[in-house]
């Protein structure tokens, strides 16, 4: 089975958790790196993404067409021009929805679990 650097589903493989969390955060609105870290920490308490891992993952996601650098910028008066903003692509949104469905099925199964009689 082939798995890309991000776990993008080429044969049904699950997305890497960091990739899924980034896609979900970008599905709400475009964000810069630090904004992504804060959004992920809010949505997945206990999750921590180190800067090197974040930017390595963002590069891989861009290469695979899951995200793109945004050309829209906030007002320069309230933003640092060195920040790079990212947005989700249609391919990224499609993969995030598929991953959410896969996880939803697992949750439904897990909710039905009962101890086995010995």
For 112, the 3-state DSSP assignment is coil
Say which CATH number the domain at 63 has. 1.10.10.10
Q: Is residue 7 part of a domain?
A: no
33 domain residue, yes or no: yes
Domain of 103 in residue numbering reads as 17-111
> Is 2 inside any structural domain?
no
pTM: 0.81
> In a 3-state reduction of DSSP, which class is residue 105?
helix
pLDDT tens digits, 36-81 = 999 999 988 888 888 889 999 999 999 999 999 987 766 556 666 6
- Report yes or no on 40 lying in a domain: yes
Number of domains the chain contains: 1
As a whole number of angstroms, the longest Cα–Cα distance in the chain is: 67
Q: Which two tokens stand for residue 45?
A: 């308490």
Does the residue 26 lie in any domain? yes
């Amino acid at each position: 089975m082939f798995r890309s650097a991000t776990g993008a589903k080429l044969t049904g493989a699950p997305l890497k958790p960091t990739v899924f969390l980034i896609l979900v955060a970008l599905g709400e609105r475009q964000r810069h790196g630090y904004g992504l870290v804060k959004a992920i920490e809010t949505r997945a308490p206990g999750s921590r993404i180190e800067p090197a891992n974040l930017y390595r993952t963002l590069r891989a996601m861009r290469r695979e067409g899951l995200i793109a650098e945004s050309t829209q910028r906030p007002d320069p008066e309230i933003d640092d021009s060195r920040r790079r903003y990212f947005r989700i692509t249609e391919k990224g949104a499609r993969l995030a929805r598929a991953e959410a469905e896969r996880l939803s099925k697992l949750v439904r199964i897990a909710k039905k679990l009962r101890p086995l009689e010995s």
